[in-house]
Structure 1
Amino acid sequence: MDSPAGQLQRAREWARTRLGDGYAQDLIDQDTLDERLEAVERATTVAEIDALTADLRPVESTALVPAAAALAVPAAGSRLRVLFSSIDRTGAWHVPARTHVRVVFGDATLDLRQAVLPGGPIELDIHLVFGNLEVIIPPGWQLDNDCGAILGSVEQLSGPPPPGGSRQVLRLRGRVIFSSLTIHERLPGENAGGARKRRKRELKALAERSARALPAGDD
């Protein structure tokens, strides 16, 4: 027989899944999702957890795979939805000035290194629930990252900023819930290992330049 702690844990897992599915189907909005996920973690009984999803339809696992292909297609040009699926945007794809990115139980990659840019700042409104999003940019971009995380992670992998000059601006806003957002800085054609080695070389060169710029001490 399951222990009370085990029953509570399974109830939390099921509630998270049901809430994520309800959000993906627009049955609840972002604020309601956040409030209920937090309440699920605070709940001390299975009955409390069940009450938080009583108004939502159960997740029907047999419908996930057929629905995924249709929901992984961006809508209306500036909206990108990924539900129980994965999607990649690479190469010379056209980037809108503002894109709403919603990933629920899925994975998405937005590679901006060779993309056709709008000629001004790029804004990504991000909402991740049990998903992963990778954003890949070329070196030298200016990042304005204001994404919050609830039991998730937001990671930025970039080297030192280049000296002076105007830079492409990328603004990220939104929430990462039980999810992962990673922003990579890579040259076109560069993989993760090559990017790490390049950043180390750049940091070493920056340290050497800084050391040479210091005034010489008295003998």
Structure 2
Amino acid sequence: MDSPAGQLQRAREQARTRLGDGYAQDLIDQDTLDERLEAVERATTVAEIDALTADLRPAPTAALVPAAAALAVPATPARMRVLFSSIDRTGAWHVAARTHVRVVFGNATLDLRQAVLPGGPIEIDVNVVFGNLDIIIPPGWQLDNECGAILGSVEQLSGPPPPGQPRQLLRLRGRVVFSSLTIHERLPGENAWGARKRRKREHKALAQRSARALPAGDD
């Protein structure tokens, strides 16, 4: 059986997690988060700590949601906040036409290869501080990237543009501070190593086509 000190420590850890999740889901603002985190550290009983997160706990329900209805929920929230944690969006998730992504001391991955896309361009406003953000797109997309970096890095890993018109426009705006933003171009199901090998083949083939297109030199 845990000692009172152990129970108190476990309650603090659970409260920090609930508060971080509540902030990420936009249930509380930055000031409320700071105030409650300080109160969690000052609390001397488990009851005091539990009271600080009582409004952030999911309400109990016995209702059963049919699987088809759950899949039909139309949208991912327009705001994604990651604080001292990580978030992954993969598979057939719904992408909003505009999304604000804030990552503070955390990691986030947005995989758009099999996502359900809105009609028209996609805009992602980026604010990454002491964290990492990876965005994965399929080949053929048009990327308009205006993210700035302050003691950080913004990198795009992609091959030569394929022939034809781009299928989708992705606009990125914002800043990266003491952090990294990487845009990966991969086929569905392709890993990082496979993507590197494919890009190398594509660049080599492009160089060969360009060399064949050059006019022959005079003798």
TM-score w.r.t. the length of structure 1 is 0.68
Tell me the percent identity.
Answer: 79
Counterpart of 2:174 in structure 1: which amino acid? G
Which residue in the other structure is 2:123 paired with?
123
Kindly indicate whether the alpha-carbon contact (under 8 Å) linking 1:108 and 1:132 is maintained by their aligned counterparts in 2. Answer: yes
* Aligned 8 A contact 2:133 2:180 in 1: yes
> What is the CA–CA distance in structure 1 between the aligned matches of 2:104 and 2:135, rounded to whole Å?
16
Match in the other structure for 1:68? 20
Return the offset for 1:146: 0.4
Residue 176 (structure 1) aligns with: 176
Counterpart-to-counterpart distance in 2, 1:218 and 1:195: 40
Give yes or no for the alignment of 1:153 onto 2:105: no
Taking the aligned partners of 1:64 and 1:154, their CA distance within structure 2 comes to 30
Asked which structure has the greater CA Rg, the reply is 2
Task: Give the count of matched residue pairs.
Answer: 160
Residue 171 to residue 182, structure 1, CA distance change in 2 (3 Å): same
1:125 partner letter = D
Task: Write the distance in 2 (CA, Å) between the matches of 1:153 and 1:61.
Answer: 32
RMSD of aligned alpha carbons: 2.0
Contact kept in structure 2, 1:64 and 1:84, CA below 8 Å:
no
Q: Secondary structure at the match of 1:119?
A: coil
Take 1:64 and 1:104, find their aligned partners in 2: how far apart are those partners?
A: 15
- 2:136 is matched with 136
Unaligned 5+ runs, structure 1: 1-59
Q: Secondary structure at the match of 1:120?
A: coil
Aligned-residue offset at 1:61: 8.4
Evaluate the alpha carbon distance shift between residue 129 and residue 105 of structure 1 in structure 2; reply closer, same or farther with a 3 A threshold: same
Structure 2 unaligned spans of 5+: 1-11, 28-75
**Structure 1 position 179, deviation (Å):** 1.0
Segments of 4+ moved more than 4 angstroms: 60-63
TM-score of the aligned structures, taking structure 2 as reference length: 0.68
Q: Following TM superposition, by how much is the alpha carbon of 1:64 offset from its aligned partner in structure 2, in angstroms? A: 3.4
